[in-house]
Structure 1
């Protein structure tokens, strides 16, 4: 197959913009994480945040494997909001801000550490901001926002997807009930490859 320079493949999943991520490529994500994170610190490039790279790829692929049922969310740009993590924000901007989810161009926003959040399709709330999550959920209650987090018990607190470290890899868990509350349908592939699915 001839390479398409105008639509570079995702460095982790191998998928190209606008295409569904095939099942094997998600297995490749996990294998890549295991290989990279198991390397010694002196073997890694000092300016690379491996966790941010993998989380950004997960978020992009999650966006492609989830359906927002609210018609309002199918209009305008596809907004990914990031709290706290500068490295994740930069990774999303550098790798994915020129791509689209369906016909919606991706827009990545760096958000202040405040519970008042404008419309987002995906909102990343990291561990250092966990105390804001209850207020964020109250404010986002009527909105179709998929909250992604990276700390223990995040699903019980209302997140839809939570990143978890496991044996030198980065995996994710999903809460389908939380997704349904926000009129979000999680695709079969995303459910099948989750480390844990809460109904």
Structure 2
């Protein structure tokens, strides 16, 4: 039975599990390491989410990054040659006042109050995977939120926020989340 279980695990889920184990093995104390780990997670998150227009486009898959130059830089190093389905991965840095139109994923770095709400509201109702790293962001409409637990990068997921955006999150990703919110979305 065990060999069959291993054959069922897709290479990408094995990669995600290895990344989680690596995060457990060494606490995140270096901000550059934390940025690289989060960038890798962002890429992998996209591979475990189904968008309503899945398979219909070969246009670039755009990840908009706000308030985090380190994560943007780390993801830009990772992006060349990477694809989400058939779509090439592209990273776009956004700043206050920029429009997030055309992004499939929006990462909002540590942001507070009105700024976070503004970014989330700018893509509300659109099929955009909103990922944050701010405490309480799931209650504001984020789909995935990074948390540091005992100096390890973890993440939590809001299923209602994903459903409002017409995104389907793989059970494989849900199974490795620290917490999955199933109540009503904001």
TM class, shorter-length:
0.7 to 0.9
Q: 5+ unaligned residues in a row in structure 1: which ranges?
A: 1-18
Q: 5+ unaligned residues in a row in structure 2: which ranges?
A: 1-9
Which of 146, 159, 177 aligns to 1:176? It is 159
Which residue does 2:23 correspond to in 1? Answer: 33
1:125 matched to 2:108? The reply is yes
Which of 33, 42, 53 aligns to 1:50? It is 33
* TM-score scaled by length of structure 2: 0.84
8 Å Cα contact 1:82/1:123 also seen in 2 = yes
8 Å Cα contact 1:174/1:196 also seen in 2 = yes
Which residue does 2:5 correspond to in 1? Answer: none
CA positional deviation for 1:152: 0.8
- 1:142–1:113: structure 2 CA closer, same or farther, 3 Å change rule? same
Equivalent residues in 2 for 1:66-77, closer than 5 Å: 66-70=49-53, 74-77=57-60
Which sits farther off after the overlay, 122-131 or 61-70? Answer: 122-131
Distance of 2:123 and 2:56 partners within structure 1: 13
- 1:136–1:168: structure 2 CA closer, same or farther, 3 Å change rule? closer
CA positional deviation for 1:73: 7.5
Show CA shifts across 1:10-43 (max 9, x none): xxxxxxxxx7612x432321221233326xx6xx
8 Å Cα contact 2:27/2:150 also seen in 1 = no
Three-state SS of the structure 2 residue aligned to 1:98 is coil
8 Å Cα contact 2:55/2:86 also seen in 1 = no
Equivalent residues in 2 for 1:175-194, closer than 5 Å: 175-194=158-177
- 1:76–1:152: structure 2 CA closer, same or farther, 3 Å change rule? same
4+ residue runs over 4 A deviation: none
1:21 matched to 2:4? The reply is no
- 1:112–1:191: structure 2 CA closer, same or farther, 3 Å change rule? same
Distance of 1:20 and 1:113 partners within structure 2: 38
Show CA shifts across 1:112-147 (max 9, x none): 123732221110111235532322233212321110
Three-state SS of the structure 2 residue aligned to 1:173 is strand
* TM-score scaled by length of structure 1: 0.78
